[in-house]
Structure 1
């Protein structure tokens, strides 16, 4: 992998995080007015169309992309990600973008913690220390004794757990399926699941909000396209640390567009979470080099 490709990969990852942060801002705007399930359902329709379009252009077409020896696992992964997105968008409506993302950034630590029981991987004491430090950061964000027992404060933590489990199952599925297959099932299974539930919560939408919904769908497709291109030109280990910039972009959007505030405890706690997460990623990269796009391009945030 050349240095120029790595630079391009980093730029693409930065662009990806910005687009996904914009997507989160649009999701929050729409979910403040309309049912979360309906918003996510429409978003998934465009995501599924994008996935099917990508699959149809590959060798073997849709039949090859859908071919899997573990359909139950692939369907479960797709449904799990759809549930995680619904939970995270719900968190935006209760806590806003700043605090939700500050807590959600703990998901790499959850992946590290769960990689042992789920994948049978060995987690050394250094990564366990990073996991502990990261969750101290989460507690600082939640303000123990004041907000830790508030139900809304737990919502993004649940989303982080679901996304971590989804990421681990994606790694597990990659042992037997290609990234194209996992990506296909992620979009299709999620779209079917959301449609079966979301249609019961349909609400009339004004013309202006249909415009915002269109922007939401476009950012979803664009973000995934950028992420795929990112992993095509650079190793995952080289670009993954820059995924944390989504927290920065989401915070900027939350403050400037939604009037959110950045509390001191959130700054300190998020700093600990991000620092611990970067250390855990570094230790994992030393222990086992990251794979290429086959293992990584399906691991995307909400």
Structure 2
């Protein structure tokens, strides 16, 4: 039987009120679903067992300063990213300096849903044609995964030419260009660039372009196959589910083995055989 909520009865002393929780729930539904009007919210409440008049829902939304659905602002950028994370990939350029002060440009891609990192290419003289060719190479490598991706995010760098965008548009993907001076719109890619600097490039001397490619490819192996990610419940990008283990006894540290990788820059830990 549906539970009826009234807003006109006074609460008795010591009796928990119902008005505040219902108001909070209505406001929450409106903010989490920008396209829902007061009648749609009333219907969702009815499914939960809360019977309430549509006019009361409208009054609560009006008092909270929330406009009707047709005039309400659309989803925020964070809501958009959360809803489409599994279908998004982002790219950006990373700059590295060699021991001879030669500047190298690295084009990287990262999938939002899995956090899988891809190295597209390294060059000292990036051009629009070079960037487009790296996009074609990546599309060939991801031929089976491109069907799951729907959006590409990148900044307004002139190296991302129309030819570069056409590669992904031909695969049915939409290209989203970030606003000027808004790095947070490409926050996941910016964050992985910071990770690459802190964990690798700031701790090793790069000799030349060939050396940088070798080091980055070596880093991708533990990054995609071993490194835990908070957004994936501590799972690496290449592991769909976290394997179950018995509770380990850490009192004997000899059962834990350290494996240095990427010239000793990165450490991996495993149970001894």
The TM-score bracket by the shorter chain reads: under 0.3
Q: TM-score normalized by structure 1? A: 0.24
Q: Larger % of helix: which?
A: 1
